[in-house]
Structure 1
Amino acid sequence: MIMFGLWVPLTVGAAALQTLRTAQQKRLTGIIGQNGAHFARYVYGAPLAALLVAGLALGGIGLPAPDATFVLYGLMGGIAQIIATGCLIHAYTLRNFAVATTFSKTETIQAALLSLAVMGEGLSAGGWLAVAIGFAGLIVLTTSGNRGARIPLSRAWREPATAYGLASGLFFALSGIGIRAAALSLPSGSELVRASVTLAAITAMQTALMGMVLLLRDRRALAGAFGHARGPAAGVGLMSVTGSLGWFLAMTLEPVAHVRALAQIEIVFTLAMTVFVFRERPSGRDYLGAGLIVASVVILICGDTAIG
């Protein structure tokens, strides 16, 4: 049975930071473009992650030595996260903030299936019920149009934003699997040490990979990230690395399917930002969808969701 452990506040905190970071990234896209806003989360986050690991080492804490397995899973998680974030940013250019985020949250179902297939970590009947209720909430939010009008689900699936949003969810799920597998492959270290080393290694890989791609294909994005928009870009990086540490540590402590299911609470944060920051009034269907997601989170934490 799942206990209310450290992974719960870590996941909720990471979800809140991700909401703030994504909103800032969306604004940054209008200043330096999609690629620049995307690159900012890695290039400004990687040095902070490296400083964290250096601080642990200077504090006398032994660091585990990564092996080939760690590098393989780290690359898988890092590249999948790059693709997922790119798809999500592109979805924002096609639909609004809440809808794009909603589509990406289908990762909860996809993470559960991938976690079961790749790592043998499944959910019991209670766990699957919680994920199903959360997914129903996502569907309600997805089909909610302006002023509460209902959008046919068949039409929603055909929109480009849907494809990018669902692809984002798939690659976020793959990223979670890779990150957890990389952290668990380390030969020693506490959960904090494993999460910190994994975060530093993966963000360094992501910075190098995406930096090389932009150097060849989009130097204007590089110039923007280091130029006039470096202040907001650095803010994106700070929120990203702090939130990522929470995700990495949570996924080191708990199976990916559970962490990603609880992460659906990000939709509630998104609605709150819509009301208090953007001053928009959600419809009744929006509140219904959010309520279903909250219910799924409560069932997940308090119900009998033992690993199957």
Structure 2
Amino acid sequence: MELWVPITLFAAAMQTVRTGWQKALKTDMDDYAVTWARFGFALPLAPLYLVLLVASGLALPVVNSQFFTAAAIAGVLQIIATIMLVALFSRREFAVCTAFSKTEAVQVALLGSLFFGEDLSLLGMYGVALGGIGIALMLPRGGSWQTAAIGICSGTAFALTGLFVRQAIFALGDADPLAAAAMTLAVMLLLQTLLLGIVLCFRSGAPFRRLWQARGHALAVGVSGFLGSIGWATAFALTNPAYVKTLAQVELPLAYVLGRTVFREKLRPLEIIAMSICAIAAIVVAFV
């Protein structure tokens, strides 16, 4: 089993935890404030992680304009994707919201192949296609197509985020994958915290005061989000993002368990079958 596989599994677990905390935080504030918590409370961890890498003997990469451009685009796309995902929490069950956002697995394969020069093996194509079937079964039957559209657009933005993160890492040349991923994440977090922070300054309801009042939940969002992001960025540095995002569909059964045990949600049998198909697709891709 290649190194990117356990790293991706760790990232998926951390993302499930982060998304669960975001749903809990959503009860106290709006989508923008909940999204800022992911970036703002994670930002102090980025320089600490860079220091740890340097102390371990790794050299930090030399950045350039191509890197900054790709990292900035990835950062903005991730803001958009996260806001749309958080908006879904008031519309559907936690697990279903997660499933809609996971359309990124198919989208990252298509977009990566068409526009970013990423190749897929035959087995990888089968895995991604199987994941697409599972996601298709999640689409509403007589439900809200607006909700589905938001979820799929969120998946598109997440898919493009992953592809531009990989472009940013490529721009750093032959830098160590851990150092390149850490530098990319640090730049993204700084940009995201500043941009979304400016937006919050013009929103009503004293969002920063409310975030401070809910700092326990907000810190949990930030820490789990940071750990997950380090995992994603490192995995993107090691292999095709399509494989990473398809394997990441193991997050779906995790989301189902969290939805049942924490949020007391119930899913339709077809939704459970769809998540199982996505999990099988993840296993296929894990052994590409």
Judge same fold: TM > 0.5, yes or no. Answer: yes
Q: 1:301 to 1:61 in 2, by over 3 A?
A: closer
Decide whether the 8 Å contact of 1:102 with 1:142 is kept in 2: no
Evaluate the alpha carbon distance shift between residue 196 and residue 207 of structure 1 in structure 2; reply closer, same or farther with a 3 A threshold: same
Q: Are the equivalent residues in 2 in contact too, given 1:32–1:229 (CA < 8 A)?
A: no
Question: Does residue 79 in structure 1 map to residue 76 in structure 2?
Answer: yes
Tell which deviates more after alignment, 247-256 or 46-55: 46-55
Amino acid at match of 1:273: L
* 2:112 aligned residue (95, 110, 115): 115
Q: Which digits, 9 at most, give the CA deviation of each residue in 1:186-245, with x for residues without a partner?
A: 1342111111111111111111111112123357222222x2111211111000001100
Note closer, same or farther for the CA distance 1:89–1:280 as it changes in structure 2 (3 Å cut).
Answer: closer
* Matching residue of 2:286: 301
Which residue in the other structure is 1:88 paired with? 85
Question: d(CA) in 1 for partners of 2:218 and 2:265?
Answer: 26
Give the Cα separation in 2 of the matches to 1:99 and 1:282.
8
SS in 1 for 2:182: helix
Partner of 2:218: 233
Q: Which has the larger radius of gyration?
A: 1
Structure 2 distance, partners of 1:136, 1:214, is 39
SS state at 2:120 partner: coil
Q: What are the residue-to-residue correspondences of 1:1-308 with 2, within 5 Å?
A: 4-143=1-140, 151=141, 155-156=142-143, 159-218=145-204, 220-225=206-211, 227-303=212-288
CA contact (8 A) 2:20 2:258 kept: no
Task: Please tell me whether the aligned partners of residues 4 and 238 of structure 2 are also in contact (alpha carbons under 8 angstroms).
Answer: yes
In structure 1, what residue type is equivalent to 2:128? Answer: V
Q: Which amino acid aligns with 1:201?
A: V
Q: Which residue of 2 aligns with 1:306?
A: none
Q: Identity across aligned pairs (percent)?
A: 35
- Distance change in 2, residues 1:264/1:60 (3 Å): closer
Letter in structure 1 aligned against 2:162: G
* Residue type at the aligned position of 1:284: P
Structure 1 stretch displaced more, 103-112 or 180-189: 180-189
SS in 1 for 2:29: helix
Displacement after TM superposition at 1:59 (Å): 4.5
**Deviation per CA, 1:227-273, whole angstroms, max 9, x where unpaired?**
21112111110000011000110111111111111111111111121
Range moving further from structure 2, 23-32 or 275-284: 275-284
Give 3-state SS (helix, strand or coil) of 1:46's partner.
coil
Query: Which moved further from structure 2: 215-224 or 240-249?
Result: 215-224
Contact 2:93 2:259 in 1 (8 A): no
What is the one-letter code of the residue matched to 1:228? Answer: Q
Q: Gaps spanning 5+ residues in structure 2: where?
A: none
Query: In the alignment, is the contact (CA less than 8 A) between 2:138 and 2:271 conserved in 1?
Result: yes
Tell me by how many angstroms 1:101 deviates: 1.4
Q: Deviations over 1:116-164 (max 9, x none)?
A: 1232113233222211211211222344xxxxxxx2xxx44x5221121
CA contact (8 A) 2:139 2:148 kept: no
Distance 2:269 2:38 in 1: 34
Q: CA contact under 8 A between 1:99 and 1:142: conserved in structure 2?
A: no
Gaps of 5+ in 1: 144-150, 304-308
TM-score normalised to the size of structure 1? Answer: 0.88
Distance across 1 between alignment mates of 2:120 and 2:57? 39
| RMSD (CA atoms) | 1.8
In structure 2, C-alpha distance between the alignment counterparts of 1:217 and 1:273, rounded to whole Å: 32
Tell me if structure 2 keeps the 8 A contact 1:122–1:257: no
1:120 is paired with a residue of what secondary structure?
coil
Pair 95,276 (structure 1): closer, same or farther in 2 beyond 3 Å: closer
Change in Cα spacing, 1:219 to 1:253, as seen in structure 2 (3 Å) is: farther
